A and B are shown apart, each in its own frame.
Chain A
């Protein structure tokens, strides 16, 4: 289930791409879900835990992945209990956030109104303790907080 806190939250990792640089584990990159997210969002192929083939930049390391994908990988694999700011992700990451939240209880913060698509979906808004099921409900709730 996806739990969203709208706005500032004490202790949130506001800049997940920065956090990723010192906390990611090579195994996370080789994981099947990470490979799919990297292929979809960054249009890049994982060659090994330390090498990724980018169509624009050529061979890169995980440190040069997009901020959005770094944040998604943290959401999927970091089990420290940290809450990551999903506004580091563009709307093209939204479907992956929903997918990660199918597998685990995922809590994120948002500082903008992410487009989660046509839905239906189930997002628990921590500010109001309501569950929203489509973009209209999400928008009308989020507008009061971000």
Chain B
């Protein structure tokens, strides 16, 4: 499934209105904000459609999936938006991750757990709150808000940790050649490296925002505990290259303008895999031929490197 979808769920007392933009959306946050009520309303509509008194407006079918026989039930759901409430332990399983990876559906998962099997974006983690737009009315209007605000890259770093161990790391090692720059060898190792870092060092972490969602609670808690971390989380290294304009390609510009319309959830479980595919396809046979496993040294050419680096925040450029 491609595209972004506006969803409006309504009863006489309560309305939820929000948009899902990618295959995985996470909802978490404080208790009693209305997460389970959202699921209950969808479930009532699923049972009895308009007779339930609940109205659901969306261009795709919205379906609630529960623990009972989830694999069998999910196998019959296609091109839909699947909602799962917390308590569904199966969300953490390898089997569920595999099902999501080959699925034409989008998923809205209510959970406070990291779900490190699932590559979800730092931009698609939300809480539920009362919409201020309708404050004061008798009816309650709920909306989603970003739990983690974009991190401000506002100071210089003492050392750099790059999530990637291949092309991305090879590029940034060159960019930050005057500083200690190491690869974390995967996102799940970053928190441990930060823990072990010296207390008086500012650590810049560069990771693929498109799949770093499961690490965000760790990062947030570390920052609140005083760890001096700067997070730089572009969609991916390949997105950075595409966004730099190096390719002079109108199709690439169109894709970057509205990725949701181009990225099929059945083909790409997360956006960074799509951007890696596009970059490799667009540069195949050219002097910028891209491989994720080993960086083409032309990307380290000063002119090329500078053009890509113009995408970095000013303070670390």
A88/B225 in contact, CB under 8 A: no
B218/A66 in contact, CB under 8 A: no
B86/A88 in contact, CB under 8 A: yes
A113/B32 in contact, CB under 8 A: no
Q: Pick from B87, B113, B217: contact of A17, CB below 8 A.
A: B87
> Which residues on the A side are within 8 Å of B217 (C-beta)?
112-113
Q: Pick from A57, A90, A139: contact of B13, CB below 8 A.
A: A57
Complex CA gap A137/B32 in Å reads: 28
Decide: A58 near B13, CB < 8 A? Known: A66-B31, A90-B29, A112-B112: yes
A89/B31 in contact, CB under 8 A: yes
Mask: chain B, 95-116; 1 = CB below 8 Å from A; 0 = not: 0000000000000000011100
Decide: A67 near B36, CB < 8 A? Known: A87-B113, A111-B113, A146-B114: yes
> Which residues on the B side are within 8 Å of A14 (C-beta)?
87, 89
Q: Which residue of B lies closest to A67 (CB)?
A: B36
Q: Pick from B29, B87, B192, B221: contact of A135, CB below 8 A.
A: B221
B226/A67 in contact, CB under 8 A: no
Complex CA gap A111/B88 in Å reads: 13
Q: How far is the CB of B35 from chain A (nearest CB, A)?
A: 8
**For residues 104 through 146 of chain A, which have their beta carbon under 8 Å from a beta carbon of chain B?**
111-113, 115, 135-136, 139-140, 142-144, 146
**For residues 245 through 260 of chain B, which have their beta carbon under 8 Å from a beta carbon of chain A?**
none
> Which residues on the A side are within 8 Å of B113 (C-beta)?
87, 111-112, 146
B14 interface residue (CB < 8 Å to A): yes
> Which residues on the B side are within 8 Å of A112 (C-beta)?
112-114, 217
Complex CA gap A56/B13 in Å reads: 7
> Which residues on the B side are within 8 Å of A4 (C-beta)?
none
A90/B30 in contact, CB under 8 A: yes
Q: Pick from A90, A93, A143: contact of B222, CB below 8 A.
A: A143
B283 interface residue (CB < 8 Å to A): no
A41 interface residue (CB < 8 Å to B): yes
A69 interface residue (CB < 8 Å to B): yes
> Which residues on the A side are within 8 Å of B140 (C-beta)?
56
A139/B87 in contact, CB under 8 A: no
**For residues 187 through 235 of chain B, which have their beta carbon under 8 Å from a beta carbon of chain A?**
191-192, 195, 217-218, 221-222, 224-226
Complex CA gap A17/B86 in Å reads: 10
A68 interface residue (CB < 8 Å to B): yes
B266 interface residue (CB < 8 Å to A): no
Mask: chain A, 1-44; 1 = CB below 8 Å from B; 0 = not: 00000000000001101100000000000000000000001110
Q: Pick from A43, A135, A144, A146: contact of B32, CB below 8 A.
A: A43
B37 interface residue (CB < 8 Å to A): yes
A48 interface residue (CB < 8 Å to B): no
Q: Pick from A15, A92, A113, A146: contact of B31, CB below 8 A.
A: A92
Mask: chain B, 130-144; 1 = CB below 8 Å from A; 0 = not: 000000000010000
A139/B112 in contact, CB under 8 A: no
A91 interface residue (CB < 8 Å to B): yes
Complex CA gap A93/B13 in Å reads: 26
Complex CA gap A66/B89 in Å reads: 19
> Which residues on the B side are within 8 Å of A143 (C-beta)?
191-192, 195, 218, 221-222
Mask: chain B, 114-151; 1 = CB below 8 Å from A; 0 = not: 10000000000000000000000000100000000000
Q: Pick from A66, A87, A89, A136: contact of B36, CB below 8 A.
A: A66
Decide: A90 near B31, CB < 8 A? Known: A67-B86, A115-B221: yes
B3 interface residue (CB < 8 Å to A): no
Complex CA gap A91/B32 in Å reads: 11
Can you give 8 A-B contacts (C-beta < 8 A)?
A17-B87, A18-B87, A41-B32, A88-B86, A92-B31, A135-B225, A136-B225, A143-B191
Given contacts A67-B86, A69-B32, 11 further A-B contacts (CB under 8 A): A56-B13, A56-B14, A56-B34, A67-B35, A90-B112, A93-B31, A112-B113, A139-B222, A139-B224, A143-B191, A143-B221
Which 10 pairs of residues, A with B, have the shortest CB-CB distance?
A68-B31, A15-B87, A90-B30, A66-B32, A90-B31, A136-B225, A92-B30, A112-B112, A139-B221, A42-B32
